[in-house]
Amino acid sequence: MSIPNIIPITEELISAHGLKPEEYQRILDLIGREPTFTELGIFSAMWNEHCSYKSSKKWLRTLPTTGPRVIQGPGENAGVVDIGDGDCVVFKMESHNHPSYIEPYQGAATGVGGILRDVFTMGARPIAAMNALRFGAPDHPKTRHLVSGVVAGVGGYGNSFGVPTVGGEVEFDPRYNGNCLVNAFAAGIAKTDGIFLSEAKGVGLPVVYLGAKTGRDGVGGATMASAEFDESIEEKRPTVQVGDPFTEKCLLEACLELMQTGAVIAIQDMGAAGLTCSAVEMGAKGELGIELDLDHVPVREINMSAYEMMLSESQERMLMVLEPSKEEIAKAIFVKWGLDFAIVGKTTDDLRFRILHQGEEVANLPIKELGDEAPEYDREWREIGSLSPLDIAEVEEPEDYGQALLDLLGSPNNASRRWVWEQYDTLIQGNSLQIPGGDAGVVRVDGHATKALAFSSDVTPRYVEANPYEGGKQAVAECWRNLTATGAEPLASTDNLNFGNPERPEIMGQLVMAIQGIGEACTALDFPIVSGNVSLYNETNGEAILPTPTIGGVGLIDDWNHMARIGGASSGDAVILIGGDCSHLGQSAWMRDCLGRAEGAPPPVDLMEERRNGDFVRSAIRNGQVTSCHDISSGGLATTLAEMAMASDLGMQLDFSACHGPAHALLFGEDQARYVLTVPADLSGYVMASAEGAGVPFRHLGAMSGDSLRIEGLMSVPVSALRATHESWFPAFMDVPEALAAE
């Protein structure tokens, strides 16, 4: 029986493929005839926002992407950065927002699967993962269901695959009620001379399909992810893929074995837009045509049309160009791991993307125009005016500072995330030196006595909303600061830009200005962007998410015997503030979460000061002078002190009387470029003299002591009370019968 591939092209069909009339006209001009149904699907897959970056490309080009350690910048499956001794770290962050809202478990699971595949496609063994998650208001009826499904999905895939999840973020805000965010990060280690790329080379070479079989799941997923949501969202469930971490683990081992044999000329994972996108990218990059015969594609369902096979987003699949002399060796490896290995096509010299099915040609398109010459827009954007700074005199001081701190620590956005990360395997591979709960996750580098890598993911969306440019800078600065707080040298970063509909000038303005801020901060801090992903159209019924440019960063620790943690201080250690007294309350977590006021400008980011203070902290840690360290971010100095006291299970005796300004700004303000260090009492004079010499503002706040966080004249709260409050919100929120019933 022959499977029908011919369907008439109508206006409705074109619009259902997310193609604008002018884009369809461009297709007609390009090929000089009406496209076939399969070709329309291919264009839709390649030219959607998710795959083509057509709205953001112009601005992404302005980001700094090079540096002395950068081996591979954006454009490949992941970025690659040299870490010395012949090793490199390969990493990227990518969103799976739209599918996770529709089907939280599978959406999140396949997000993790996709980013892991991006990393091992390049020849790296994954060693760490992170997840930046954002959900709607806790009292929104969908939130528990999404939290429960997304967290289980992230864990279900990552735990089974066998990568430690060492960091991430979880945040709630009503602006995510209609669109949750799932940003998955993965990093792996490879040899610098063992990196594999997607650029095809050589004419007439076999194109091989590897991994799992192709089904009908995820057909049109990338197009779905390039549109806003409305009431019809439930109908989109079939566009979400289904993950199989077992097959992915086998695929990892098979691919790494295969890469040792010299059989791989080029390799590309099948992610968004599956077979279409991977084949076009390999051909277009290598200036070659690709011919595929779909009769050889391993399928798990009968009667699949060419259209379905080309657009399926079935997971755990790879496409490679094979060195023909190694075919038997390569095949044996895949047989051993129980995976498919099928020659499905060949490279050609005519720059055409040709698809055969049942002996007929169902597509014949120019490969360059599909891939790297996709449409690009210079969308209209509007400058977003900054809010003026909030006058702190307008904010009343709380009557009881101890209670104010407890209120903050027990609020949804500041409570402990233990409920989440205890569902992730944080220890597998035996190299985890720091797990979630501190500033950054830290993992040892296998085969090296002292080297370790630090990972952090950060953004403060309320700052970006209030001032996209400063907010973009702050996301980079906070990530850089979190890495620094462990003693790591920040190496490079990846950006995952989540915004609303770019066809609205105010949203495009957020995107443009945030990228400008990110670019400036990355340049000033020598923290290039080596990979990334853009997720637009995060809107439901016209309401956009908070602008959320997540930054994932990687840092290098030369000797993990000299790193700092959030805990580990001893009684008697001096507590020292690095950076100035706080003078801002605008957009602070305390005002938002305890007073219900999201007002004023966010704290400005002075990148020179950021760098100077950070460099000082890092050198103090590396010189072995620091017993614990934590940066100051959301929740201000009070939150930092409380988190350090809980982590060390020790009180503090502090005196703020020498500080300038009102107590609520000192305690809860979020001025940037600041840290708290603890140092042995006999080194405190030396450390402060060094700070003075380096021109770094500092203040001796007091000492680790007793079992309460005691600030003279302001508060005295037992550490046990801090912990009970901090740890209780999340389990109380999630472990209720309604949450279980919703699963």
50 a catalytic residue: yes
Q: Where are the beta strands (DSSP E) in 278-338?
A: 289-293, 317-322
Element (H, E) at 144: helix 143-161
C-beta of 426 vs 501, nearer to other proteins: 426
Number of residues that bind other proteins (CB under 8 A): 30
Query: CB 563 → other proteins: shortest distance, Å?
Result: 11
Read out DSSP for 54-67? TTTHHHHTTS----
Query: CB 149 → other proteins: shortest distance, Å?
Result: 12
96 a catalytic residue: yes
- The residues pairing with 495 across neighbouring beta strands, listed in sequence order, are 532, 551
Q: Tokens 């700094």 label which residue?
A: 64
Q: DSSP H helical segments within 72-142, as ranges?
A: 97-102, 104-120
Query: CB 143 → other proteins: shortest distance, Å?
Result: 18
Rounded to whole angstroms, the Cα distance separating 527 from 547 reads 21
Q: How far is CA 562 from CA 423, 485, 486, 654, 730, in A?
A: 29, 12, 9, 27, 33
- The conformation of residue 235, written as its DSSP 8-state character, comes to G
**Binding segment (CB under 8 A) for other proteins, from list 138-146, 238-246, 304-312, 511-519:** 238-246
Window 545 to 584, contacts with other proteins (CB under 8 A): 560
C-beta of 436 vs 579, nearer to other proteins: 436
Query: CB 417 → other proteins: shortest distance, Å?
Result: 13
Task: Please select the residue that binds other proteins; options are 92, 444, 674, 726, rule is CB under 8 A.
Answer: 444
Instruction: Beginning with the edge strand found earlier in the chain, give each strand of the sheet holding 181-191 in spatial order.
Output: 70-72, 79-84, 87-95, 181-191, 125-135, 165-172
Write the interaction track for other proteins spanning residues 58-97; mark x where CB under 8 A is met and - where it is not. Answer: ----------------------------------------
- The conformation of residue 300, written as its DSSP 8-state character, comes to S
Query: CB 443 → other proteins: shortest distance, Å?
Result: 10
Which is catalytic among the residues 50, 357, 584, 630? 50
Which is catalytic among the residues 17, 96, 98, 726? 96
Q: Tokens 């770290």 label which residue?
A: 89
Rounded to whole angstroms, the Cα distance separating 594 from 637 reads 16
- The conformation of residue 384, written as its DSSP 8-state character, comes to P
Window 405 to 434, contacts with other proteins (CB under 8 A): 422-431, 433
User: Looking only at Cα atoms, what is the longest distance across the chain?
Assistant: 86
Residue type, 360: E
Residue type, 312: S
C-beta of 249 vs 611, nearer to other proteins: 249
Residue among 296, 326, 322 nearest 309 (CA)? 296
Q: Tokens 């503030």 label which residue?
A: 577
Window 239 to 278, contacts with other proteins (CB under 8 A): 244-247, 249-250, 253
Q: Two tokens at 648?
A: 């060390």
Query: CB 423 → other proteins: shortest distance, Å?
Result: 5
C-beta of 254 vs 575, nearer to other proteins: 254
Dihedral Cα 197, 200, 202, 207, nearest 10 deg? 110
C-beta of 82 vs 244, nearer to other proteins: 244
CB neighbours (10 Å) of residue 353? 27
C-beta of 252 vs 511, nearer to other proteins: 252
Query: CB 246 → other proteins: shortest distance, Å?
Result: 3
Window 131 to 190, contacts with other proteins (CB under 8 A): 152, 155-156, 159-162
Strands 708-711 and 652-654: parallel
C-beta of 430 vs 693, nearer to other proteins: 430
- The residues pairing with 699 across neighbouring beta strands, listed in sequence order, are 577
Q: Do the Cβ atoms of 487 and 562 come closer than 8 Å? A: yes
- The conformation of residue 655, written as its DSSP 8-state character, comes to -
Element (H, E) at 133: strand 125-135
Rounded to whole angstroms, the Cα distance separating 468 from 618 reads 29
Query: CB 610 → other proteins: shortest distance, Å?
Result: 31
Query: CB 82 → other proteins: shortest distance, Å?
Result: 24
C-beta of 244 vs 520, nearer to other proteins: 244
Instruction: Give CA 622 to chain center in angstroms.
Output: 28
Binding to other proteins by residue 126, rule CB under 8 A?
no
Write the interaction track for other proteins spanning residues 319-338; mark x where CB under 8 A is met and - where it is not. Answer: ------------------xx
- The conformation of residue 397, written as its DSSP 8-state character, comes to P
Query: CB 142 → other proteins: shortest distance, Å?
Result: 20
C-beta of 418 vs 592, nearer to other proteins: 418
Q: Residues 706-719, buried b or exposed e (16+ Cβ, 10 A)?
A: bebbbbeebbebbb
Q: Do the Cβ atoms of 716 and 709 come closer than 8 Å? A: yes
Residues in touch with other proteins (CB under 8 A): 152, 155-156, 159-162, 244-247, 249-250, 253, 337-338, 422-431, 433, 444, 560, 740
Q: Show which residues are catalytic.
A: 50, 96
